């Protein structure tokens, strides 16, 4: 069997509103993405995933979709999308787009009709709410003029669809066809463990992302993904789908990637693991034992950037660990999902002024939860200017950037061999060179408890999570290191070694 492209792809998440602003309104757009594709090619990724750019009132950064087949004017035009895909393909980059099936925007024509009493069965309306809470704080129900209530597991501007209605099912198959016909290589599925809710909508005690909750992961959802897989399989070129599936166990996650369902699902256990070799080892073992095609994620637009997660007390430590974690991630079997800006070593921006924050999590929790704006601050391309090159000169970006973004900008880091960006470029180039000469299977090598050492054929990866230096494992050459190494591997450092294999 030919190995499909996505099995070991490195996919780069573009959070469109914060990547590059070509139009000059302070918000990133598709023309900005298009201009920066050569940067991504040079970085060495295989594919991009674009977060929603569809018409949206932006109550949740575009995850409130009002028209699933359009392009919001603030992000450009359908022609900009086509031109961006054509350029990406010409550069050899694949393109994944986001599909948001759990809920629409309250501005979607179907919900507007539902408010007028037409086609209500496409959403979840009830005479009385149950005790479910919104993921973004507060009740998951909002009352409408005639006294009935509708369900929204996220913001009130994001009413949940009723997936028991066949019309919803048909509509989404048609949306997938629309984008596949435009040439996209696949989809990232938002809240993929949502969609169905338990019959009768019983009250819950615990609403975490557990498969045993009536709120998430109902068995019916798997039939939907079987339909989607069947549709994807009718298209040439290994079109694929990756699910955003939050579960409490990897066994539950594995249900979504059975051979006739989704190709991949994000492995959030990897980003949830603390800085500990034991914790990392367990996630790796569980992952390879349970899912056929692994993925590895350190950061995305919903979580605190991993540089900050790994080093709250000391930013230097966070940076060293973030680089070391990247080497471990890229050495693991399967595919890696990178988040824009991690190649620059961007930290979480923690001190955004309250009036600048836009995440509904911040607003709905009355400021109690900081929300996710801190990982969504626009990318610094140049070391100077009003937006560090994110927008044309004279334009302020939609979220303020801290001064340290000058030092972290693409311009400042390019060509500096000690920079995080050049380190990412070297790591991605080395991974590409090793390519499929390294087997999928992973083998643990002997190490002390604080150190992770594994091999895949000629590649050995060692990551020191301990507090003191350790001897380098036996090797025939050093390929790449995340920091200075001699005969020993310092703490918070990883190395790729070459070994001769017969």
Of 75, 141, 154, 390, which one interacts with ligand GLC (CB under 6 A)?
A: 154
- What's the closest the beta carbon of residue 95 comes to ligand GLC, in angstroms? 18
Contact 473/462 with Cβ under 8 angstroms?
A: yes
Nearer to ligand GLC, 225 or 424 (CB): 225
CB of 75 to ligand GLC, least distance (A): 16
* Residue 393 C-beta-side C-alpha neighbours within 13 Å: 4
Catalytic-labelled residue, pool 46, 244, 343, 373:
244
Cα gap 145→147, rounded to integer Å:
5
Of 269 and 470, CB closest to ligand GLC: 269
Query: Buried (b) or exposed (e) across 404-442, using 16+ Cβ within 10 A?
Result: ebbebbbebbeeeeebbbebbbebbebbeebeeebebeb
Provide the CB-side half-sphere exposure for 155 (13 A, CA): 23
Give min distance, CB of 246 to ligand GLC, in A.
8
Q: Between 63 and 172, name the residue whose CB sits nearer to ligand GLC.
A: 63
User: Mask: binding to ligand GLC, 79-118, rule CB under 6 A, as x and -?
Assistant: ---------------------x------------------
CB 223, CB 204: distance < 8 Å: no
One symbol per residue from 230 to 269: x for binding ligand GLC (CB under 6 A), - otherwise; what is it?
--------------x-------------------------
The catalytically annotated residue of 21, 190, 261, 343 is 190
* 347: Cα separation from own chain's centroid: 17
If DSSP codes are grouped into helix, strand and coil, which group holds residue 242?
A: strand
From the centroid of its chain, how far is CA 483? 26
CA distances to 62, 200, 371, 391, 437 from 349, in Å = 21, 42, 11, 19, 40
The answer for residues whose C-beta is within 8 angstroms of residue 37's C-beta and 6 or more apart is 48, 84, 87, 88, 91, 93
Q: How far is the CB of 187 from ligand GLC (least distance, A)?
A: 13
**x-marked contacts with ligand GLC along 395-424 as a string, rule CB under 6 A:** ------------------------------
Q: Which of 63, 123, 187, 424 is the binder for ligand GLC (CB under 6 A)?
A: 63
Closer residue to ligand GLC (CB): 59 or 462: 59
User: What 8-state DSSP symbol labels residue 346?
Assistant: P
Using the minimum distance from each CB to ligand GLC, give the nearer residue, 213 or 447: 213
CA distance 502 to 498: 13
Q: Which helix (H) or strand (E) holds 315?
A: helix 315-331
Shortest Å, Cβ 54 to ligand GLC: 12
Q: 478 with 497: CB under 8 angstroms?
A: yes
Nearer to ligand GLC, 100 or 254 (CB): 100
Which residues 291-320 are close enough to bind ligand GLC by CB under 6 A?
A: 301-302
Q: How many residues bind ligand GLC (CB under 6 A)?
A: 9
**Is there binding between residue 225 and ligand GLC (CB under 6 A)?**
no
CB-nearer residue toward ligand GLC: 175 or 453: 175
Q: Is residue 68 part of the contact set for ligand GLC (CB under 6 A)?
A: no
**Number of residue whose CB is nearest ligand GLC:** 63
Active site residue 80: no
- Sorted by sequence, the CB contacts under 8 Å of residue 360 that are 6+ apart come out as 59, 60, 136, 154, 155, 157, 371
Instruction: For residue 190, state whether it binds ligand GLC (rule: CB under 6 A).
Output: yes
Contacts of 366 (CB under 8 A, 6+ apart): none
Helix, strand, or coil (residue 160): strand
Q: How far is the CB of 293 from ligand GLC (least distance, A)?
A: 21
244 is catalytic: yes
Does 157 contact ligand GLC by CB under 6 A? no
| Residue 124 beta carbon to ligand GLC: minimum distance, rounded to whole angstroms | 16
Asked if 60 interacts with ligand GLC (CB under 6 A), we say yes
User: Two tokens at 21?
Assistant: 């602003």
Tokens standing for 129? 């709410």
Tell me how far, at minimum, the Cβ of 205 lies from ligand GLC, in Å.
Answer: 23
Binder of ligand GLC out of 50, 191, 242, 336 (CB under 6 A): 191
Point out which residues bind ligand GLC (CB under 6 A). 60, 63, 100, 154, 190-191, 244, 301-302
Residues forming the active site: 190, 244
């Amino acid at each position: 069997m030919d190995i499909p492209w996505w099995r070991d792809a490195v996919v780069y998440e573009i959070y469109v509103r914060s990547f590059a602003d070509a139009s000059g309104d302070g918000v990133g757009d598709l023309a900005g993405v298009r201009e920066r594709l050569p940067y991504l090619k040079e970085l060495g990724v295989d594919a991009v995933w674009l977060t929603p750019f569809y018409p949206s009132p932006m109550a949740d950064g575009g995850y409130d979709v009002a028209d699933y087949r359009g392009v919001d004017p603030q992000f450009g035009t359908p022609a900009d999308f086509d031109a961006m895909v054509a350029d990406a393909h010409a550069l050899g980059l694949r393109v994944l787009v986001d599909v948001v099936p759990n809920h629409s925007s309250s501005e979607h024509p179907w919900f507007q009709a539902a408010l007028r009493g037409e086609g209500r069965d496409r959403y979840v309306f009830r005479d009385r709410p149950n005790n479910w809470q919104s993921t973004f704080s507060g009740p998951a129900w909002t009352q409408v003029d005639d006294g009935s209530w509708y369900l929204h597991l996220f913001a009130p501007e994001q009413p949940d669809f009723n997936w028991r209605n066949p019309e919803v099912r048909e509509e989404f198959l048609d949306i997938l066809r629309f984008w596949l016909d435009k040439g996209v290589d696949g989809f990232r599925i938002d809240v993929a463990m949502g969609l169905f809710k338990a019959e009768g909508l019983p009250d819950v005690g615990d609403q975490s992302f557990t498969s045993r909750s009536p709120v998430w992961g109902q068995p019916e959802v798997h039939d939907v993904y079987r339909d989607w897989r069947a549709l994807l399989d009718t298209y040439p070129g290994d079109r694929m789908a990756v699910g955003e599936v939050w579960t409490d166990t990897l066994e539950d996650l594995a249900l979504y990637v059975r051979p006739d369902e989704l190709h991949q699902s994000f492995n959030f256990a990897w980003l949830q693991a603390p800085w500990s070799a034991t914790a990392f080892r367990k996630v790796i073992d569980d992952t390879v034992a349970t899912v056929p095609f692994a993925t590895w994620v350190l950061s995305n637009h919903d979580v605190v950037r991993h540089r900050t997660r790994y080093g709250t007390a000391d930013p230097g430590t966070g940076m060293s660990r973030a680089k070391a974690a990247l080497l471990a991630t890229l050495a693991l079997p399967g595919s890696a999902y990178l988040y824009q800006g991690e190649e620059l070593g961007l930290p979480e921006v923690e001190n955004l002024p309250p009036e600048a924050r836009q995440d509904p999590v911040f607003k709905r929790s009355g400021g109690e939860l900081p929300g996710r704006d801190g990982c969504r601050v626009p990318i610094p391309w140049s070391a100077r200017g009003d937006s560090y090159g994110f927008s044309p000169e004279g334009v302020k970006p939609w979220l303020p950037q801290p001064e340290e973004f000058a030092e972290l900008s693409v311009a400042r880091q390019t060509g500096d061999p000690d920079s995080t960006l050049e380190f990412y470029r070297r790591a991605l180039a080395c991974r590409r060179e090793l390519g499929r000469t390294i087997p999928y299977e992973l083998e643990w090598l002997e190490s002390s408890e604080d150190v992770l050492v594994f091999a895949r054929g000629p590649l050995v990866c060692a990551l020191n999570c301990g507090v003191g230096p350790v001897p380098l494992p036996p090797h025939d050459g050093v390929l790449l290191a995340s920091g200075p190494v001699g005969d020993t591997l310092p703490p918070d450092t990883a190395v790729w070694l070459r070994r001769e294999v017969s």
